[in-house]
Structure formats: C-alpha cells, structure tokens
C-alpha cells in the first residue's frame, strides 16, 4: 500500500487564503456601495442662503455586526441669535437593499416608556419622530420599511431651522434608489 501525501498549510498561509476568498466578493460589494453612497449624497439638500456646509461625507461598512451605507453633510448658520446652529443630515441605507422586518417601534406602538420621549409629526406625508434634549433637536424617519433611514440632528436648532431641510429632500426618488 502506498502512503498518501498530505499537504499542510501553515496557519498564516491558511488565514491568508481564507481572507482572499472572503474578501473578493466583499470588495466588489464595497465598490458598489461606495457608488451608492455618493448617489445618496445627491439627495441631501442644497446649501440655503445664510448657511454654510461641509463637503459630502460618505462611508460604507461590511462587518459581521454592522452593514450600512451612509451619506451625510453638516450645515451651520453664520451665528444667528448669538449661537452657531448646526444641523447634521444623515441618510443611511442597508446593503442588499432588503426591507427590514422592523421599523421604529415608536411609529407603531406609542405605549412604551422609551417612546414617551418622542413626539410624532407628519410633514409632507412622511411621519417623523421628534426628540428634544436640552440644546439638541432631532427628526427621524424611515423609507421603504426601514430600508433607508434619514436623521436630521440639530444642535442649538429649532423646528423652524430643521423643517425647511426636511421639506427639501425628494423622498419618492430616494426610496427608489437601489
């Protein structure tokens, strides 16, 4: 009987081979997701008069715990009422573009204690959860069953600052983005 040749790989070589196999599809996905993040950024509002804004900031993540595509921009006033008002607008999508099986619980069930700190408001046919904490005010909504989340987070902002930004997003077109 002939002996069978057994080939062994060092643990480092095995890890490198597994990483290369695992990274190939993810790298293609990441390139596609980065392009999608740039498209999401086109839905952020134009800079209104009296405000200045940062460049578009995009990020993508493909870890076991967090998969997301994000586009955001920070808008600031030029010292109105003695305070520099700041509004961060985030558009976040879930890769694979599957609808999540859940939405914000406070949209459906207003009875929990956690939901008591949110107010609900409908603007332009979309429901927003509004949270006020000291100098911070945030408006949050989701599109297409939670697949896309939009957050307007204001520091030293009032509803009169945030709501014009809320009205400047084309929600129908954004929901169609894949």
Domain count, the chain: 1
Please state, in angstroms and rounded to a whole number, the distance separating the CA atoms of residues 30 and 23.
Answer: 10
What's the pLDDT score for residue 29? 77
Residue 116 lies in a domain: yes
Residue 5 lies in a domain: no
CA dist 91 → 5, 20, 94, 112 (Å): 56, 31, 10, 26
CA dist 2 → 5, 7, 172 (Å): 9, 16, 70
pLDDT tens digits, residue range 113-130?
666 678 889 998 888 989
pTM higher than 0.85: no
Residue 2 lies in a domain: no
Residue 63 lies in a domain: yes
What's the pLDDT score for residue 114? 66
Residue 169 lies in a domain: yes
What's the pLDDT score for residue 23? 45
Of all residues in the chain, what percent carry a pLDDT higher than 90? 29
Element of type H or E holding 81:
none
Task: Look up the CATH number of the domain holding residue 157.
Answer: 3.40.1000
Residue 3 lies in a domain: no
Question: Which residue range(s) make up the domain with 66?
Answer: 11-176
Above 80 in pLDDT, residue 17?
no
pLDDT tens digits, residue range 18-31?
444 444 446 777 88
Residue 4 lies in a domain: no
Residue 114 lies in a domain: yes
pLDDT tens digits, residue range 28-76?
778 888 898 999 999 999 998 889 999 999 998 877 666 788 899 999 9
Of all residues in the chain, what percent carry a pLDDT higher than 70? 69
């Amino acid at each position: 009987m002939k002996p069978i040749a057994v080939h062994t790989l060092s643990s480092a070589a095995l890890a490198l081979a597994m990483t290369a196999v695992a990274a190939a599809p993810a790298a293609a996905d990441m390139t596609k997701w980065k392009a999608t993040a740039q498209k999401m950024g086109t839905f952020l509002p134009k800079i209104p008069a009296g405000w200045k804004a940062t460049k578009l900031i995009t990020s993508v993540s493909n870890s076991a715990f967090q998969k997301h595509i994000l586009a955001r921009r920070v808008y600031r006033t030029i010292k109105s009422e003695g305070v520099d008002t700041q509004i961060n607008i985030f558009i976040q999508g879930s890769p694979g573009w599957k609808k999540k099986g859940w939405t914000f619980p406070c949209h459906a069930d207003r009875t929990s204690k956690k939901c008591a700190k949110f107010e609900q408001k409908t603007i332009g046919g979309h429901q927003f959860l509004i949270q006020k904490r000291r100098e911070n005010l945030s408006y949050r909504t989701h599109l297409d069953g939670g697949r896309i989340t939009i957050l307007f987070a204001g520091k030293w902002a009032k509803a009169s600052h945030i709501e014009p930004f809320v009205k400047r997003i084309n929600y129908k077109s954004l929901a169609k983005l894949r």
